[in-house]
């Protein structure tokens, strides 16, 4: 629905550039270890960003985050 998409867009625009990067990689199926290696961050740092992204996006699971990424046209279904 339009309302849900507006809310989703609003939540997404509140992410920092680094959180957007993490959002895209998590939605793309990368593990925290893989993201850490890719971005030269510790796994712990990645976990911290992941938690922030999940909270800001109000996603209770990675599956929900992936569905949001598809709705935001960040990834192909």
Tens of pLDDT along 32-50?
999 999 999 999 999 999 9
- Tell me the per-residue pLDDT of 14-35, one tens digit each, with 9 for 90 and over: 999 999 999 999 999 999 999 9
- Which of 14, 2, 5, 3 shows the shortest CA–CA distance to 72? 5
pTM of the entire structure?
A: 0.92
Radius of gyration of the CA atoms of the chain, in A: 12
Residue 3 in this model has a pLDDT that exceeds 80: no
Helices (H) and strands (E) in the chain, counts: 5, 0
């Amino acid at each position: 629905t339009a309302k849900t998409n507006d809310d989703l867009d609003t939540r997404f625009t509140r992410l920092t550039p680094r959180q957007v990067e993490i959002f895209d990689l998590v939605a793309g199926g990368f593990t925290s270890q893989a993201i850490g290696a890719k971005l030269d961050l510790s796994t712990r740092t990645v976990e911290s960003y992941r938690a922030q992204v999940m909270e800001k996006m109000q996603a209770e699971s990675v599956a929900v985050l992936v569905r949001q990424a598809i709705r935001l046209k960040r990834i192909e279904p």
